Amino acid sequence: MSTDPRRQVPRTDTLLADPALAAASARLGRELVKDAVRGVQQQVRQGSLAPDDAVAAVLAGLPGTAGSLRPVLNATGVLVHTNLGRAPLSPAAVEAVVAASGTTDVELDLGSGRRGPRGEAALAALLAAVPAAEAAIVVNNCAAALALVATALGGELVIARGELVEIGDGFRIPELLESTGARLREVGTTNRVALEDYTRALGPGTGAVLKVHPSNFVVRGFTRSVPVASLAAGLEGTGVPLVADVGSGLLRPHPVLPEEPDLQTTLADGADLVLASGDKLLGGPQAGLVLGRAELVQRLRRHPLYRALRVDKTTLAALEATLRGPLPPVQEMLAADVAGLRRRAEALAARLAGAGVDARAVDSAARVGGGGAPEHPLPSAAVSLPGSFAAPLRRGACPVVGHVEDGRTLLDLRSVPPSADGDLAAAVLAVAGRGA
């Protein structure tokens, strides 16, 4: 009898007909499951897997969804981590996205059967959260909001030199503005600007005065900037709108972040339009928020570019649920009790040490991330592990991303929900069991 292992390789159609794999094909797609079958067949062919174990091996190798994005435990201590998708959605927002993923009344008045206003409920929730605003629109991110403003208001944009910033991945605010055809009128110097610099720059071709929060850096020393309230007073009677990009999406002043600008205060101080991100400190989906004077918001809404930048039904649903629902995860992280974080770190470290892992609880410093509060560390607590754990934790079945400091892997708990502590411990124990 031949012992050629190729004769023992289960046929593709036989494996795909297995009830468990047929169910997986219905959920994930036949081609994805077939690719996993081919990989398992190769293992059988090489003799590293018994033929009877083929179905179990295929099931074990299948992803959780048909998409390639994987859930990750964010133990970096960076609350709004751009590389990890920024703000995690609240359970209420996730439920709203699922509900909106099918056929919905996003642009239909069910009472009359006629076309209805798009995103009306989400905009109403946004205006209720920021009562200083007369009107609002939502586009797909804050850069889109800035591009729409520059295009719709047109002409020359007056902006301080110290606010011509570069943010992540080489993205530069002045290049974005110039790409719309706007002309930039730079005023002041890199470290100092006065109200007179702005007012002297105004002319018949001025479309707006733009104030951009520096966001991810701080200039200290011999510096001067013009607050929104002073700038608004100086522009009074000129007819030139004041547009403020506050970046992080903080709705109102927050006691943990006393220097971070917020939408409500900025509008109350006299800004005509305020721009912000929806997926940072607001804690919602990726979106660009534009709030302010009704006449200006309507100009943006009626501009042809708005159609290309508006958001879809799932974003509107997630935004509304974030604003109306319970506290989103980012806000919970900000409000976390440091003593509670230490107790969690001590309990996790004790559990891991009891299993033979070199683990200990340490104090740490978390960060807002996403360009928010760059020099405002948040006191936190972490589990300290050997430096060799960092890479295998990232590659595990439940990926965990921490950071390495002084040769140790730190898993900061301010960015990890308490409900995930068990998963975090299991991931560490799995790495320890593989001999990291």
Instruction: Please identify which residue in the block is written with the tokens 């009830």.
Output: 19
The predicted structure's pLDDT at residue 219: 75
Kindly state whether residues 252 and 119 are assigned to the same domain.
Answer: yes
Residue 59 neighbours by CB under 8 Å, 6+ apart: 20, 21, 24
d(CA 433, CA 409): 17
d(CA 183, CA 171): 18
Helix axes 421-433, 338-354, angle to 10 degrees: 30
Asked if residue 272 is part of any domain, the answer here is yes
Among residues 260, 166, 174, 158, the alpha carbon closest in space to that of 211 is found at 158
Asked if residue 67 is part of any domain, the answer here is no
d(CA 47, CA 38): 14
Kindly state whether residues 252 and 111 are assigned to the same domain.
Answer: yes
3-state secondary structure of 401: strand
Kindly state whether residues 138 and 50 are assigned to the same domain.
Answer: no
Burial bucket for residue 96 (CB in 10 Å: 0-12, 13-18, 19+): buried
- Using DSSP bridges, classify how beta strands 206-212 and 273-277 pair: parallel, antiparallel or unpaired: unpaired
Asked if residue 170 is part of any domain, the answer here is yes
The predicted structure's pLDDT at residue 91: 96
Domain end (from 279, 303, 326): 326
The predicted structure's pLDDT at residue 247: 85
Asked if residue 316 is part of any domain, the answer here is yes
The predicted structure's pLDDT at residue 69: 86
Tell me the CA end-to-end span of the chain in Å, nearest whole number: 44
Kindly state whether residues 128 and 79 are assigned to the same domain.
Answer: no
Asked if residue 116 is part of any domain, the answer here is yes
Mean pLDDT by 10 residues, the chain (436 residues): 66 92 94 93 90 91 86 95 94 96 92 91 96 97 95 93 81 89 93 94 95 78 89 95 93 88 96 96 96 98 96 97 96 95 97 96 91 77 96 94 96 97 96 78
Domain end (from 281, 297, 326): 326
Among residues 374, 397, 178, 336, the alpha carbon closest in space to that of 260 is found at 374
Q: How many domains does the chain have?
A: 3
Asked if residue 343 is part of any domain, the answer here is yes
Kindly state whether residues 297 and 350 are assigned to the same domain.
Answer: no
Kindly state whether residues 151 and 179 are assigned to the same domain.
Answer: yes
Kindly state whether residues 226 and 338 are assigned to the same domain.
Answer: no
Kindly state whether residues 388 and 286 are assigned to the same domain.
Answer: no
Q: What is the DSSP string of 81-120?
A: -GGGTSSPPPHHHHHHHHHHTSS--TTEETTTTEE--TTH
The predicted structure's pLDDT at residue 1: 45
CATH number, domain of 404, equals 3.90.1150.180
Spell out a b/e string for 233-263, using b for 16 or more CB atoms within 10 Å of the CB, else e.
Answer: ebbeeeebbbbbbbbbbbbeeeeebeebbbb
Kindly state whether residues 227 and 304 are assigned to the same domain.
Answer: yes
pTM score, two decimals? 0.90
Asked if residue 66 is part of any domain, the answer here is no
CATH number, domain of 235, equals 3.40.640.10
Sheet with 242-247, strands from edge to edge, namely 135-139, 288-292, 273-277, 242-247, 206-212, 156-160, 183-187
Kindly state whether residues 293 and 245 are assigned to the same domain.
Answer: yes
- Using DSSP bridges, classify how beta strands 242-247 and 206-212 pair: parallel, antiparallel or unpaired: parallel
Kindly state whether residues 349 and 258 are assigned to the same domain.
Answer: no
The residues facing 289 across adjacent strands are 138, 276
d(CA 228, CA 147): 21
Kindly state whether residues 195 and 274 are assigned to the same domain.
Answer: yes
d(CA 186, CA 178): 12
Rg, the chain, Cα only? 26
Instruction: Note down the domain range covering 421.
Output: 73-84+332-433
Among residues 61, 83, 64, 63, the alpha carbon closest in space to that of 74 is found at 83
What letter would DSSP give residue 367? Answer: B
The residues facing 157 across adjacent strands are 184, 208
Asked if residue 165 is part of any domain, the answer here is yes
Per the CB < 8 A criterion, the answer to whether 300 and 290 are in contact is yes
